[in-house]
Amino acid sequence: MVRRAAGASGASRVKGARRPEVRLPPLEPSGQAELEPDGDYDGLEFLERDLSGQDGAGARFMDCALRGCALDETRLHHARFLDSALTGIRGVGTDLAESTLRDVELIDARLGGVQLHGAALERVVIRGGKIDYLNLRTAVLKDVVFESCVLVEPDFGGARLERVEFVDCALKGVDLTAATLKDVDLRGVAALEIARGVDRLAGAVVSPSQLLDLAPVLAAELGIRVEG
């Protein structure tokens, strides 16, 4: 089940993202077993587990909750997170490349250098927390909401973003090189810094004040000299 994000209206001429409604069933504790490649985890709660360095490549997490887990250098390449909630996870160098996140809530994460290149995110809410050096190159994001979070030097190079919203967020040093945007709402970004790819903003909507802030970058991209 999904619901449309607040703030999207016909007058805005941008389609709002559909948010997930994650309703977890009663969960069983995961125990102390380590993650396994191609593992199948259904209806489990991983509570304050140290999963650092473990290999869960290709694993499937269905109706699961990860709460307060450490994911330093955890290998989750090509994993699938479906109808799941990840709360308070932390880690550096977590490998989620080419993974699938569908109907997922990621709340208050503290991550650095997380690899999500080539991933597919659909109906995902990322709320709170801070993610440094997020690698989303060539990823596909559809119906994704970033809310009240800080993204430092996120890399959307070559990614496709459709119905993506940023609400009360900070985007610092974002890279949009070769990205494709459709119905991307940046008006809720409190601090918007585009390091590369300002020419790829077609398909996004910004506020008048953001346009003024972007004017120097746009002028430089177009080769316009501004002199007083």
Task: Give 100-151 pLDDT, tens digit per residue.
Answer: 999 999 999 999 999 999 999 999 999 999 999 999 999 999 999 999 999 9
pLDDT category of residue 5 using cuts at 50, 70 and 90: low
Rounded to whole angstroms, what are the CA distances from 77 to 98, 134, 135, 164? 6, 15, 13, 23
**What kind and span of H or E run contains 213?**
helix 208-222
Residues 148-192 have pLDDT tens digits of 999 999 999 999 999 999 999 999 999 999 999 999 999 999 989
**Residue 88: its pLDDT value, please?**
98
| Lowest-pLDDT range of 32-41, 68-77, 197-206, 215-224 | 215-224
- The span from the CA of 40 to the CA of 37, in Å, is 9
User: Do 185 and 8 form a contact (C-beta atoms < 8 A)?
Assistant: yes
pLDDT over 80 at 8, yes or no:
no
pLDDT attached to residue 4: 54
133: left (phi over 0), alpha (psi -120 to 50) or beta: left
pTM comes to 0.90
Torsions phi, psi of 144, nearest 5? -120, 135
Predicted pLDDT at 49: 97
How many whole angstroms separate alpha carbon 145 and alpha carbon 125?
Answer: 5
